[in-house]
Copies of this chain bind each other. A is one copy, B any other.
Amino acid sequence: MAVPTTRTARRGRPGYDLESLLRIAVKLFNERGYDGTSMEDLSRKLGITKSAIYHHVSSKQELLRLAVGRALDGLFAVVEEARTVPGRAIDQLEFLVRGSVTVLADRLPFVTLLLRVRGNTKVERDALAKRREFDHIVSALVEQAAIDGDIRADIDPATTARLLFGMVNSLVEWYRPRRDDDLHTIADTIATIAFEGIRLPGGE
């Protein structure tokens, strides 16, 4: 780990703070896979020595932990906010779906990385555990909304929760901030499909 710092290697190079280091690391992880990216690759990409990186973080795992933490903090902040939404479980569920769309869009590279985590290291297993916790929260809201009589009781809550977030999470595959897709419109479309369905009552 302790590669000696050569001051010359940094001379004339741009300096990196933890934030920019993290952004570039996440970009690289998303392009090549976390397992497929070495600290050597990252140091080459940044044009700084490995020890300059270790000045900011203790390991590649710490970079991953910080990165998936950004995604998870965003999602769990929406969970906390949803709990304070006045009204019924269905209203909190809709808030959570819409809020998650915003988090995904705002923290796209971090959430992309989170959704690709496999579980080979402790950091990855912890992230997967947090994802399961999130799924359980969604699933419990679906269940409560069914008990409240607000949503249909003929579909399994856990499957419904997975499918709702199948729609939401698909954003990492096709949403690009530069494109003209308006985020509110996307959130509306997801909420419309999920809660109202696409079939018109008049049709067939």
Contacts and interface: CB of A to CB of B under 8 A. Distances in A.
A54 B199 CA distance: 51
Given A165-B170, A169-B170, A200 B150 contact: yes
A33 interface: yes
Given A33-B35, A35-B33, A163-B170, A155 B198 contact: yes
Contacts of A190: 163
Contact of A197 (B35, B163, B181, B195): B195
This protein's copies in its complex: 2
A129 interface: no
A14 interface: no
B159 A186 contact: yes
A185 B159 CA distance: 10
Interface string A128-164: 0000000000000010010011111011100110111
Interface string A160-204: 101111111111011000000100011011101111111110111
Nearest to A154: B192
Contacts of A86: none
A66 B35 CA distance: 25
A125 interface: no
Interface in A10-52: 31-33, 35-36
Contacts of A156: 185, 189
Contacts of A148: 203
Given A150-B204, A162-B170, A170-B166, A193 B197 contact: yes
6 contacts: A150-B199, A152-B199, A155-B198, A159-B186, A160-B193, A196-B197
